[in-house]
A and B are shown apart, each in its own frame.
Chain A
Amino acid sequence: MTKATENKSFISKFFDTLGQIFKPILPIMIGGGLLQALRDILLMTGVIEKVSSSYIFLNALGDAVFYFLPIYLAFTSAKVFGASPFMAAATAGFLLYPEVTKLFEWAKNVGWSLTLFGKIPVTYSRYPSSVLPIILIVLFQSKVEPFVEKHSPKILKTILVPLVTMFITGIAGLIIIGPIGTWIGNLINTLITFLNERSAWLVPTLMGAFTPLLVMTGAHYSIIPIVAQNLAQLGYDTVMLPGNLASNIALAGACFAVAIKTKRVNYKGVATSAGITAVFGISQSALYGVAVPLKKPLIYSMIGGGVAGFIAGITQIKAYSMVTPGLLSLISYVSAEAGMANLIFAIVSALVAFVLAFILTWVFGFDDLKEEDSQENVTGE
């Protein structure tokens, strides 16, 4: 095997792993995001007040998804790495335990050096809403658990395996792996903040243009940790979700132009339904059913997505929750603190993506599919 092939397989394996970890929890992240948007809409329309138990309950309903994210990630990571999901969730629960969180916060504020057994230093980390620490900890658990299982006497396995695994994983997580994960997370955050401050347009432009290629390689799931990290640490995302929105809506624009312009009657239906699903953020049918087979609409949608991503970047629009990037996700740009301008710029960006991709496809056209090809390309996700 060549080095290039090895690298490629490692990268593709890495993306696959991230995808497998995040895919099962996407529904609750979307649900939590929409609940947060609903909370803000109710607040802005005066249905609930900020000083009320209703606000506290509604806020917690959506926020709990993100606050306890490490527990869900522990569960899915354990399934991916072949560790015990409940032991992994228990370790995540330990790191999120209110007294532990409070102790870390207090020590940070006061300057107290935390130790374990009076000797081993414990580095400050904040685990609620965190992403990377728990994934690394569960990866470690997946190595410890089989080792303990193998070396425990059969009669004591039910006692020793959970005891030793949870003890070693919990302590190693607390003093080494957790802080390393936090450090890497902070590094990514610093990098994104740096890019955001120096050239805010760059990442949304790239995301707007190249998201179709990420989807084709399956790498789009690998950006979810970055979005989750941004939402957890900053409370919003400016780099990934706005670019994704631009890309999906541009694909929709290209699909509708194809639907109108194609001479193949049966393909009109395919392109229309692909366009509708892309409008709602599901881009696979548009991509595999229209953009990739026709090639030119893919390029036009990448141009439209890139320009719209650029607009999203320079206007610094912020997505406040994780919603599938499509028409419905506009709700995630509504925030009591950001004001209406944020939503308006998000709509402008989506409109530019749609109109530009539509016009380019309409004006410059595409090579229509042959009759037999157009019948084969009725694909879903």
Chain B
Amino acid sequence: MKNKLLKLIILLVCLHIILVGCSGQAKEFETFTPEHTSEVGKLFQIDSTNFIMINGGRIIEDKGNKILIVNYSWKNEGKNADTTFDNFTITASQNGEVLKPNLDYVKDKKKLVIAVEPGEILEDIEQGFILSTQEPVTLSILGSDSYFIVENKPIYTYPVKVVMDILE
């Protein structure tokens, strides 16, 4: 029994050495890693293929609630025609509290799900968020990469944050 186990371990070690040998030289590999923050009115990259520009926002009153409608553009630098759904998510928060989304007052909801050709820019996309205070809103824009590779090490992705002042 012990002999069999030993043979099995030796076999596994040999197989591992062969597999590593056949897989070729490991290459240094890096992916794009975005800045942690950006600004309104500036085109910035959020992952390997997506660029976003927050154009600004407007506030709408609805049944005592104030809804911030954020207007932004998206440039698809991927290889395929794609939708916002597959590429990034924008969420908003005030003082660390995530704001409830609301699409009732956006101009064209379908922009959130229509395909954009590679290299093209989709402008005037809108998303709405119900404000809870008068404090500035922090938008978090998370891309579609699963990991960023830094110095050959995978790190968890993070959103790019943009602070919007909502006072008139």
**Which 7 interchain pairs have the tightest Cβ spacing?**
A111-B101, A111-B103, A51-B155, A109-B89, A51-B153, A109-B91, A106-B85
Knowing A103-B85, A106-B85 are in contact, say whether A112-B155 is a contact too (CB < 8 A): no
Q: Say whether B100 faces chain A, with CB atoms less than 8 Å apart.
A: yes
Knowing A106-B85, A106-B89 are in contact, say whether A112-B153 is a contact too (CB < 8 A): no
CB of A56 within 8 A of CB of B89, answer: no
Q: Say whether A7 faces chain B, with CB atoms less than 8 Å apart.
A: no
A42-53 interface code vs B (CB 8 A; 1 in, 0 out): 000000010111
Knowing A51-B153, A52-B153, A53-B153 are in contact, say whether A112-B112 is a contact too (CB < 8 A): yes
A108 closest partner in B (C-beta): B101
Contact residues, A100-133 vs B (CB, 8 A): 102-103, 105-106, 108-112
CB of A112 within 8 A of CB of B103, answer: yes
CB of B85 within 8 A of CB of A109, answer: no
Main SS of the interface on chain B? strand
CB contacts (< 8 Å) of B113 on chain A: these are 112
CB of B154 within 8 A of CB of A110, answer: no
B13-37 interface code vs A (CB 8 A; 1 in, 0 out): 0000000000000000000000000
Q: How far does the alpha carbon of A279 sit from the alpha carbon of B147 in the complex, in Å?
A: 43
Identify the B interface with A (CB < 8 A). 85, 89-91, 100-103, 109, 112-113, 127-128, 147, 150, 153-155
A35-61 interface code vs B (CB 8 A; 1 in, 0 out): 000000000000001011100100000
CB of A110 within 8 A of CB of B112, answer: yes
CB of B103 within 8 A of CB of A110, answer: yes
A105 closest partner in B (C-beta): B89
Q: How far does the alpha carbon of A105 sit from the alpha carbon of B85 in the complex, in Å?
A: 10
Contact residues, A186-241 vs B (CB, 8 A): none
Identify the A interface with B (CB < 8 A). 49, 51-53, 56, 102-103, 105-106, 108-112
CB of A111 within 8 A of CB of B102, answer: yes
B89 closest partner in A (C-beta): A109
CB of A110 within 8 A of CB of B127, answer: yes
A111 closest partner in B (C-beta): B101
Q: How far does the alpha carbon of A82 sit from the alpha carbon of B68 in the complex, in Å?
A: 52
Q: How far does the alpha carbon of A103 sit from the alpha carbon of B112 in the complex, in Å?
A: 12
> Taking the nearest CB of chain A, how far is it from the CB of B12, in angstroms?
17
CB contacts (< 8 Å) of A111 on chain B: these are 100-103, 127-128
Main SS of the interface on chain A? helix
Instruction: Name the residue in A51, A108, A109 with the highest tally of chain B Cβ atoms < 10 Å from its Cβ.
Output: A109
> Taking the nearest CB of chain A, how far is it from the CB of B159, in angstroms?
11
B103 closest partner in A (C-beta): A111
CB contacts (< 8 Å) of B150 on chain A: these are 51
B98 closest partner in A (C-beta): A109
CB contacts (< 8 Å) of B91 on chain A: these are 109
CB of B101 within 8 A of CB of A110, answer: yes
CB of A56 within 8 A of CB of B154, answer: yes
B83 closest partner in A (C-beta): A106
> Taking the nearest CB of chain A, how far is it from the CB of B31, in angstroms?
14
CB contacts (< 8 Å) of A106 on chain B: these are 85, 89
A49 closest partner in B (C-beta): B153
CB contacts (< 8 Å) of A49 on chain B: these are 153
CB contacts (< 8 Å) of B112 on chain A: these are 110, 112
CB of A53 within 8 A of CB of B154, answer: yes
Q: How far does the alpha carbon of A53 sit from the alpha carbon of B149 in the complex, in Å?
A: 10
> Taking the nearest CB of chain A, how far is it from the CB of B74, in angstroms?
13
Instruction: Name the residue in B85, B100, B128 with the highest tally of chain A Cβ atoms < 10 Å from its Cβ.
Output: B85
CB contacts (< 8 Å) of B109 on chain A: these are 112
> Taking the nearest CB of chain A, how far is it from the CB of B22, in angstroms?
20
Q: How far does the alpha carbon of A49 sit from the alpha carbon of B85 in the complex, in Å?
A: 32
Beyond contacts A110-B101, A110-B112, A112-B109: 7 other A-B pairs, Cβ-Cβ < 8 A, are A51-B155, A52-B153, A56-B154, A109-B101, A111-B102, A111-B103, A112-B103
Q: How far does the alpha carbon of A102 sit from the alpha carbon of B86 in the complex, in Å?
A: 9
> Taking the nearest CB of chain A, how far is it from the CB of B68, in angstroms?
12
18 inter-chain pairs at a CB distance below 8 angstroms, sorted by A residue, are A49-B153, A52-B154, A53-B153, A53-B154, A56-B147, A102-B85, A103-B85, A105-B89, A108-B101, A109-B91, A109-B101, A110-B89, A110-B90, A110-B103, A110-B112, A111-B103, A111-B128, A112-B112
Q: How far does the alpha carbon of A103 sit from the alpha carbon of B85 in the complex, in Å?
A: 8
> Taking the nearest CB of chain B, how far is it from the CB of A248, in angstroms?
34
Q: How far does the alpha carbon of A112 sit from the alpha carbon of B104 in the complex, in Å?
A: 10
CB contacts (< 8 Å) of A56 on chain B: these are 147, 154
> Taking the nearest CB of chain A, how far is it from the CB of B77, in angstroms?
20
B151 closest partner in A (C-beta): A51
B102 closest partner in A (C-beta): A111
> Taking the nearest CB of chain B, how far is it from the CB of A75, in angstroms?
28
CB contacts (< 8 Å) of B127 on chain A: these are 110-111
> Taking the nearest CB of chain B, how far is it from the CB of A202, in angstroms?
29
> Taking the nearest CB of chain B, how far is it from the CB of A99, in angstroms?
9
CB contacts (< 8 Å) of A51 on chain B: these are 150, 153-155
Q: How far does the alpha carbon of A109 sit from the alpha carbon of B141 in the complex, in Å?
A: 11
